[in-house]
A = this chain, B = another copy of it.
């Protein structure tokens, strides 16, 4: 077994990650992510490819102003072109102009690509590698050499593959990173090859850059480290080209909590979930509830057996303490787990309920009936709490709806604000009848409700909608099926989810909105129902 040692974390979320389908980062989002990554403690942040993407030139320019505490920014690019001197290669010049402490270049390892893709000779390719590394080192950069398609290249011609690493080493490369660019390798194959490389280059620092095409990105990376690699490249949340890059979120947790390696971000590991969510948000991606360690479902217990057992010897049903990665245990409410899960939830909320009371049974029946009609509470905790509060505390709502109407027009009479909504509410015995216009029906309704509620509850002003999801149930029946709307709202310090369901999208949205405002009012009353 290798002695435990330090492993560097090289984050390419902002470069390789951006190749992922559906991923998009504005330059300002990239800068914010870079700051967060640095605070979290990663060692390297690969920010982009100036020779390929003009927006990246921008990023490097502005990144110079970031006050990073530890992480080094890396510019990514390629070896010089064939038959062009490195001093005259414009792409290499751009790499230097980025003025980053680190430059990472990739070069060809697989003879097939040398001859068929870049159309040059085996020898020229080695010169391209050595020249470029030397040139960058001479300019004072830390240089990482990424051996593209290393494992495929090694299978095809092991001597040539090793000679490309030799060339990089002669040029002075600080790190030699072996890339499974196609993502098709098996764990045992990679382990063997890494062992060979580490043995062959005992003074070199060897790295791993794996992909997830076979669902093995994390395993390949960890296997490489166990054979002596000391730096791992990957992306937060594992997104990237095709099936993604090796998932750094999982790798960091595994290295630190399971395999006993030292990583610089270990002291901040309890921020792992936070940074994972932040990166998804900046990348405009929907978080994966099943993401290892950080996903919302990671420590969720559902189903009778486990829920009981968890109470008794909790630690033995969780492979790590959820708090170690900033996560927590949750109990899922569903018709499978019945009374005990709902009881746990009620207790969590501070209710003192007799599990055998008829009221509890009524509640469970009502819950089943609502779920059958399309309501789903897993992402709508606030709606669930409201329901529990209404049942167990006979809590009246802060306002009552008398009616609402929406008109929506487009075409010949098209105006900018094409939706008008009127709402009539009763609050504390008085009737409030308001109207509002907006560019859409849900927006118009929302403004009209607020116009009414704000007159009595000015704090409503602080509530903002942050997400709005619509799903059709009984999906095969077109536009008249049950529609479930889930919204997420915030008042700047709490975030909460609510749900509505109806065969009418307006009504479903309406329900979710009302619950959101009612929940805000409960939050402010501080009567313990809301967390």
| A residues whose Cβ falls under 8 Å from a Cβ of B | 18-22, 52-53, 110, 112-113, 116-117, 149, 152, 182-184, 186-188, 212-219, 222-223, 226, 238-239, 241-244, 247, 250-251, 253-254, 258-259, 281, 284, 288-293, 295-300, 302-306, 309, 312-313, 316-320, 332, 336, 378, 401-414, 418-419, 424, 438-443, 446, 464-473, 475-480, 483, 502-507, 510
Contact = CB atoms under 8 A, between A and B. Distances in A.
Stoichiometry, as copies per complex, reads 2
A154 to B, nearest CB: 14
Contacts of A412: 402-403
Given A53-B336, A313-B112, A21 B404 contact: no
A47 B405 CA distance: 48
Given A18-B336, A215-B217, A403-B414, 15 more contacts: A21-B302, A112-B313, A182-B317, A186-B254, A186-B258, A214-B250, A215-B251, A216-B219, A242-B300, A243-B292, A406-B407, A418-B504, A440-B483, A440-B505, A465-B472
Among the interface residues A303, A406, A479, which one has the most CB atoms of the partner chain B within 10 A? A479
Nearest to A52: B304
A246 B217 CA distance: 14
Nearest to A292: B215
A193 to B, nearest CB: 15
B464 A468 contact: no
A interface secondary structure, majority: mixed
Contacts of A215: 217-219, 238, 247, 250-251, 254, 292
Given A215-B292, A259-B186, A439-B480, A241 B302 contact: yes
A407 to B, nearest CB: 5
Given A302-B19, A319-B214, A441 B408 contact: yes
6 contacts: A21-B378, A22-B289, A187-B222, A238-B290, A243-B295, A403-B411
Contacts of A441: 406, 408, 441, 504-506
A245 to B, nearest CB: 10
Given A117-B309, A214-B253, A441-B504, A319 B479 contact: no
A265 B58 CA distance: 51
A320 to B, nearest CB: 7
Contacts of A405: 408-411
Given A242-B298, A408-B506, A472-B468, A446 B478 contact: yes
A502 B416 CA distance: 12
A395 B254 CA distance: 56
B305 A52 contact: yes
Identify the 5 closest CB pairs spanning chains A and B, nearest first.
A403-B411, A184-B319, A219-B219, A215-B250, A440-B504
Given A52-B305, A313-B113, A442 B479 contact: yes
A504 B21 contact: no
B186 A438 contact: no
A253 B215 CA distance: 10
